[in-house]
Chains A and B, each alone.
Chain A
Amino acid sequence: MYNHPVYTDNDPQTEHSTLNLGPTHPATHGVFQNVLEMDGERIVSGVSTIGYIHRAFEKIAEHRPFYQITPLTDRLNYCSSPINNMGWHMTVEKLLGITTPKRVDYMRIIIMELSRIADHIVCNSILGVDTGALTGFTYMMQYREAIYEVFEEICGSRLTTNIGRIGGFERNFNHIAFAKIRKVLKDFNYGLKEFESLFNRNRIFVDRTRGVAAVTPEQALSYSWSGPILRATGVDYDVRAMEPYSSYDEFDFEVPVGDNGDVYARFLVRNEEMWQSMRLIEQALNKIEKEDSSIFHADVPAFYLPPKEEVYNNMEALIYHFKIVMGEVETPNAEVYHAVEGANGELGFYLVNDGGRSPYRLHFRRPSFINYQMYAPMSRGMLLSDAIINMSSLNVIAGELDA
């Protein structure tokens, strides 16, 4: 009646089976498809298919003025949108030769480091979920929520923030925002300690992650890896330290590196980066108190939209408003590459400008795209369950992968 073959352990397994992992598998946390050739539980080979949520941002950007590209960058790595926003703003500022006031730099550092913490919280706690520990995830999510409340207080939105403008911020931080930032620091100090004591020496977690998907520094560099996963292999490349932007050079922080580039080392590097981010925010909060508290943007009327009430009542503001909206402002004819340390690695903006209101060509160097290409080759010979946690620890974000 039933014609299905039934295999026992003694039967020779002569055939490999094909497994479609994705595009919408719950264990992959995003739209990732990998067609795996399996020999039992082991992966023989794999092919990654990407592009499921490709939205042609680079093409759209060629038709938009600079300030309207910020919302596009939100949708790259949507776990840490503010870093993308500010990376883009700094690229345009570099092109236009705008120097931002120190207070703006410190405000940016606070926001960027908060979003780095939010991103690492997601990655590390999801890694816990994938290894079977849901508790850490449920506790850590409340700190991400607290960070999103800071964003909400500052710019009104939480996930796709569109925070900041070319030249600075759209409005000043109020005292509630500062109070919330301080509360995040205070609470998360305790929360991260608890998270670390739950995982770092947990026998099950360490057995599950130690030695899994270990990558040598040579391999990682050959595949152009960057960010925490490169640092986990022992290469101390961090854009914040190598090419300091936004006054990072005034700050005291360390670049943590791992030993053998496995999932456990990546986990530890991300945890340590969260501690360093908190150090940076604390220093920035101290430095910001010494600055003039009314400054929140550079004095660049030709690129920074004036407040609405001034547009209605002030001739000069109205002219600048008109010029910005209609794109009548001259821009230099130049090429610029600017990189920031995104949560996943070097997030670069290659902007070719021809003097117009929108880029001639804009290319995003997206760390997730470049980091993910080693996934299928490195999965060869790996257990399927190890490949799942390997993907978690790469922290590939579908929006950034597909742009």
Chain B
Amino acid sequence: MGKIANEVLIEKLTAKFPGEVAAISQDFGLLAVETTREHITEVLSYLKNDDELKFIFLTDITGVHYPEQEKAIGVVYHLHSLTTNTRIRVKVFLSADDVHIPTATTIWDGANWMERETYDFFGVIFDGHPDLRRILNVDDMTAFPMRKEYPLEDPNRIDKKDYFFGR
């Protein structure tokens, strides 16, 4: 079986979830769709279990922080259909004061550590996760370091200000 065209994917998803799934970009041929946290479990299991799509391989789960957006935290799923060699990116945006999303560990065992990593760095709480603890950072850390407001270096340093470099 060949690669599924993005148009076919969009058509199937909008037919199955009318108004709940929206295509947002097709950068470099990889379709990205956005959905809501109420539907993410259904969308993921539909993508995995549909006979024609078969996105059985969960490539990755990660987060992105957009502090200027109303819904600031994005959770990004990359799925791969090994039989048709198609990839898809599914995004859910959450507001920073309500970062709950259902877990994907009910669909893939491998989602466990990926979600722990996303929790560790972005503070996204995956409801129903069996063991949602920090994974790479120390347990008593209070911040979520991949959020944009967390500084990389000592903010009091004065030798690396942009204006020294004409920026």
Contacts and interface: CB of A to CB of B under 8 A. Distances in A.
Interface string B72-95: 000010100010010101000000
A350 B78 contact: yes
A69 to B, nearest CB: 14
B78 A221 contact: no
A335 interface: yes
B158 interface: no
A222 B165 contact: no
A210 interface: no
A54 B113 contact: no
Nearest to A60: B152
A334 B26 CA distance: 9
Contacts of A334: 25, 27-28
Interface string A339-368: 100000010101010000000110101000
Contacts of B135: 50-51
B32 A223 contact: no
Contact of B60 (A221, A327, A352, A363): A363
> Helix, strand, loop or mixed for chain A's interface?
mixed
Contacts of A361: 64-65, 146
Interface stretch (A144-152, A235-243, A264-272): A235-243
A135 interface: no
A348 B59 contact: yes
B4 interface: no
A369 interface: yes
B59 A224 contact: yes
A182 interface: no
A373 B111 CA distance: 10
B27 A221 contact: no
Given A50-B135, A348-B59, A224 B28 contact: no
Contacts of B166: 326
Contacts of B62: 350, 363
Contacts of A219: 109
A382 to B, nearest CB: 18
Contact of B113 (A62, A235, A352, A373): A373
B64 A326 contact: no
A403 interface: yes
B72 to A, nearest CB: 13
Find the residue from B27, B78, B134, B167 having the highest chain A CB count within 10 A. Answer: B27
Contacts of A374: 109-110
A224 B82 contact: no
Contact of B136 (A94, A225, A402): A402
Contacts of A225: 110
Nearest to B85: A242
A334 B24 CA distance: 12
A59 interface: yes
A319 interface: no
Nearest to A365: B60
Contacts of B114: 224, 370
Interface of B: 25, 27-28, 30, 32, 56-60, 62, 64-65, 76, 78, 82, 85, 87, 89, 108-110, 112-114, 117, 121, 134-138, 145-146, 150, 152, 165-167
20 contacts: A51-B136, A54-B137, A58-B146, A221-B57, A222-B109, A224-B58, A224-B108, A224-B114, A242-B85, A327-B167, A335-B32, A336-B27, A336-B28, A336-B30, A337-B78, A348-B59, A348-B60, A350-B60, A363-B62, A374-B109
Interface of A: 50-51, 54, 56, 58-60, 62-63, 94, 219, 221-225, 235, 237, 242-243, 326-327, 334-337, 339, 346, 348, 350, 352, 360-361, 363, 365, 369-370, 373-374, 377, 402-403
Given A51-B138, A337-B87, A373-B110, 13 more contacts: A58-B146, A59-B145, A59-B150, A63-B152, A223-B109, A223-B110, A242-B82, A334-B27, A335-B25, A336-B27, A337-B30, A350-B60, A374-B109
Q: Would you list the 7 A-B pairs with minimal beta carbon distance, nearest first?
A: A224-B110, A51-B136, A373-B113, A223-B110, A54-B136, A363-B62, A365-B60
